[in-house]
A = this chain, B = another copy of it.
Amino acid sequence: MSENTRLRPGDTIGILGGGQLGRMLAQSAASLGLKAHVFCPDPNSPAFDVCAAFTVAPYEDLDALDRFAESVSVVTYEFENVPGATAAHLDAKLPVRPGVRALEVSQDRLFEKRFLSGAGVAIADFAEIDSQAGLDAALASFGGQGVLKTRRFGYDGKGQIMIRKPEDAANAFQAIGAVPAVLEALVPFDCEVSVIVGRDLDGSSASYDIARNHHENHILKTSTVPADVSDATTRSASAMAEKIVAGLDYVGVMGVEMFLLRDGDEEKLLVNEIAPRVHNSGHWTQDACLTSQFDQHIRAVAGWPLGATERHSDAVMENLIGADVDGWQSVLKEPQARLHLYGKAETREGRKMGHVNRISTRTA
């Protein structure tokens, strides 16, 4: 439902997903006087420790979804892979924000690329791939190189294969599971950057400063602001991000990942991927801005106006992945660091356990 519901303090926001993003959304909701009801199949969800109510049930449990829907005024989600049937079931009953359309587009790389192209946003060349023969043909037109990605359910480098030489291509379609896929042209990018953009129910939008992202093992490791890009690039990034959320009639916060290409002094951006939710590369906003991305998302989803996105400090966000979290004591000793931990009981390799925002106030 796209109706014009606006919440009042004391109302309840439903959140699908109880991981760290749902947890930080629930914390922001509480700070703004709203209650959070978190729905998640995992009985050990980190978000359950900070919400007024929670439901443990599979996303396919329609009875549980019905009870959930009756207890909340609006529904949002912390992850883009909300099953389509779940979103549709809820959408028939109450507003689902950022929206069902944003889910459909971001769940399928082909739909996403088509939408982005149609929205007038620059992206890398791509081809739809449904067979090894199709892959071979597309590679021929891409100079023999590209990244083959499944259309659905890829994240943190999963479901993708880098193809640089003919041996990489052989059987690549089989290797990703012989499922519908896309081939993306390789772009000689200098770095990955991202923009967190918010859009409210009235159609106003606002972007945070662009962040420069560094990945390790396909997982985001650091986001740095300022990103050391030109003012023109900053404006261009915001303009693209705001075009994207307008095109989806989006309500909430979105993470837009982009490749930055450099040719001499020239900078160029290509949108790589969108995430219809708060985004790991926006965690720096918690400690460097008056309105964090989590506050911003809650404000938008509640039908409230956006908050200011200005940055009062420079920031480097570092993810604490797996055993990184064992360094929590030394982080606490750093005067410019703020430690954020997700309350996950078990440390596993590759698991996001927390993050650190290292802040340089400009007044120091």
Contact = CB atoms under 8 A, between A and B. Distances in A.
20 contacts: A9-B341, A10-B345, A23-B30, A27-B50, A32-B340, A32-B341, A33-B343, A35-B49, A36-B49, A48-B52, A290-B336, A290-B338, A290-B361, A291-B338, A299-B332, A305-B332, A305-B333, A307-B335, A312-B313, A312-B363
Given A9-B325, A305-B332, A333-B305, A343 B35 contact: yes
A343 B30 contact: yes
A10 B304 contact: no
Interface string A314-349: 000000000001001100110110111111010000
A336 to B, nearest CB: 7
A329 to B, nearest CB: 8
Nearest to A306: B332
Interface residues of A, number: 48
Interface in A31-89: 31-36, 48-52
Contacts of A335: 307-308
Taken together, the copies of this chain in the complex come to 2
Question: Which residue, of A31, A48, A362, has the highest number of chain B Cβ atoms within 10 A?
Answer: A31
A156 to B, nearest CB: 22
A359 interface: yes
Nearest to A340: B31
A99 interface: no
A310 interface: yes
Contacts of A198: none
Interface of A: 9-10, 23, 27, 30-36, 48-52, 287, 290-291, 295, 299, 304-305, 307-308, 310, 312-313, 325, 328-329, 332-333, 335-336, 338-343, 345, 354, 359, 361-364
Contacts of A32: 339-341
A51 B49 contact: yes
A310 B361 contact: yes
B10 A312 contact: no
A-side interface mostly: mixed
A188 B92 CA distance: 66
Contacts of A36: 49
B33 A27 contact: no
Contacts of A339: 32-33
A354 B342 CA distance: 26
A318 to B, nearest CB: 15
A287 B31 CA distance: 12
Contacts of A333: 305
Given A343-B35, A363-B362, A30 B50 contact: yes
Nearest to A346: B10
Nearest to A325: B9
Contacts of A325: 9
Contact of A332 (B34, B290, B304, B364): B304
Question: Which residue, of A332, A359, A362, has the highest number of chain B Cβ atoms within 10 A?
Answer: A332
Contacts of A328: 9, 33
Nearest to A309: B335
Contacts of A307: 332, 335, 338
Which 6 pairs across A and B sit closest by C-beta, in order of nearness? A33-B341, A312-B361, A49-B52, A308-B335, A30-B50, A362-B363
A354 B33 contact: yes
A49 B30 contact: yes
Contacts of A291: 338
A10 B343 contact: yes
